[in-house]
Structure 1
């Protein structure tokens, strides 16, 4: 599914949205099992996008087995490891420019495709799958010294309780800190049946024993003792700059670097990101 649903911030009235709401509600009433199956396919299936950047010279590809199957990994450089985790409908290739920068600074940059993304196995994507995938990568990595996340990858990184991330610096790019408000608000604005969406969420909760209401990236960021730098574009259309700004104002260990004209995706390879990484090391 496109980020346009999960990160939709428009409040404008739309007849099309009203029609979607009526249709999906009726579908759920008349054929609940089929409606939930259809909703899983629509709401939990990310778009497998093509590589965003050319492969850097020396890129090493490998595989790690996670709960949802094989995860494709991509590493560059040598030395202590920085793990890079992408967002919804993204791929590790979005990080290639930053990986080159990290490698030049004397580190190993280790990126991977989340379950159901890029070249990795899996059909459905959601926070439990993202967290499980990250944990598998961390299990396989040596000497992890920090993490870079983008968009939904930032939420799963903050939710992850793996010991290798304790007291490690974070570079969060266009983060989703208000995950629940963003998720439920965006689906509601799309017009999709909230009853049907909540039923699908309930199935995921039961399958992974992962209560959705426990997801609180903002609160978990506030509890971290290590440094965090957020790089966020002021006009980001998919995640709220104002929430990142509030985090930087309220949390002593969090600094915000604001960009302009970089949007939600281009920001991943802007100069401010490279400079923020250098600041963290």
Structure 2
């Protein structure tokens, strides 16, 4: 079974209370079994695993080791300055195709990540800490080979993972964060509850993952990372985004210097291929 945090589908009326009670009670009766069930249910993204770039072809492919398997990285172009692009939950790197083509025309090299359990990468389960791990591994790989990482462009959960990177990994890079769900975990708990699943099960899973990585999941909340915000971190957001609240983002940036580019009517994902958005990103990166 796969669970998608970015849809509005809910169980039929009357089913939620039953499944909520069952999933919550399982934690007390069989904690190990509930953890297995919880991970299969809540950490399995609902997205296409098979795709192709239609108008551009990768020049090389890298497979990087992570704790959950090998992450697939497609490399485009021969430029000296590298741009890393990182997708969100239940997506893959092909969503950046129009942007990649534009960046190549400006002379950049592009590394497009498929996160674990997404696209052409390994695995069936993933989570935010693995997104962060994969981004860290990608940056290390290129910096160890003396590539100049000029910018990181990240969407949705990929943007949350980017802001969770250590400050030294963000230094001297331009960051463009698209459709960032500021209250990421609140969104998770809300969607789980609406689907009729006990939020205790989600907490149980998050605490287990945190112990595996020796990090409390609450430390990943973006309100813990406002000190990283600067004029080098650019946000792009649509006013009508149903999943990542525009108001939450404007409140988040109220006392910080990070620029915000606002769109209307593009929602959560369509702005990735929007001409004006791509032009803005190119301007930010090349300035």
Q: Same fold (TM over 0.5)?
A: yes
Which residue is equivalent to 1:76?
A: 76
Which residue is equivalent to 1:265?
A: 269
Which residue is equivalent to 2:19?
A: 20
Post-superposition CA distance 1:29-81 (Å, at most 9, x none): 44332222111101011124156663333422412322232211112222301
Contact 1:28/1:196, CA 8 A, preserved across alignment = yes
Q: What SS does the aligned partner of 1:70 have?
A: strand
Q: Which ranges in structure 2 are unaligned for 5 or more consecutive residues? A: none
Which residue is equivalent to 2:118?
A: 117
CA change 1:92–1:210 in 2 (3 A) is: same
TM-score (norm 1): 0.89
In 2: Cα distance, 1:264 partner to 1:169 partner: 22
Contact 1:167/1:225, CA 8 A, preserved across alignment = no
Q: What SS does the aligned partner of 2:261 have?
A: strand
Q: Does 51-60 or 154-163 show the bigger shift?
A: 51-60
Q: Are residue 276 (structure 1) and residue 242 (structure 2) matched?
A: no
Post-superposition CA distance 1:60-109 (Å, at most 9, x none): 24123222322111122223011101001110111111011111111111
Q: Does 136-145 or 189-198 show the bigger shift?
A: 189-198
- Note the 1:1-281 alignment, pairs <5 A: 1-3=2-4, 6-7=5-6, 14-50=13-49, 54-67=53-66, 68-77=68-77, 78-141=79-142, 142-161=147-166, 163-252=168-257, 254-280=258-284, 281=286
Q: Which ranges in structure 1 are unaligned for 5 or more consecutive residues? A: none
Contact 2:44/2:125, CA 8 A, preserved across alignment = yes
User: How far off its partner does 1:219 sit?
Assistant: 4.1
Instruction: Indicate the RMSD between aligned Cα atoms, in angstroms.
Output: 2.4
Contact 1:63/1:70, CA 8 A, preserved across alignment = no
User: How far off its partner does 1:220 sit?
Assistant: 1.9
User: How far off its partner does 1:222 sit?
Assistant: 4.5
User: How far off its partner does 1:264 sit?
Assistant: 1.3
In 1: Cα distance, 2:19 partner to 2:276 partner: 40
In 2: Cα distance, 1:256 partner to 1:52 partner: 31
Contact 1:17/1:190, CA 8 A, preserved across alignment = yes
CA change 1:191–1:222 in 2 (3 A) is: farther
Contact 1:98/1:269, CA 8 A, preserved across alignment = yes
Contact 2:136/2:169, CA 8 A, preserved across alignment = no
In 2: Cα distance, 1:229 partner to 1:14 partner: 42
User: How far off its partner does 1:144 sit?
Assistant: 0.3
User: How far off its partner does 1:196 sit?
Assistant: 1.9
TM-score (norm 2): 0.87
User: How far off its partner does 1:211 sit?
Assistant: 0.8
User: How far off its partner does 1:221 sit?
Assistant: 4.3
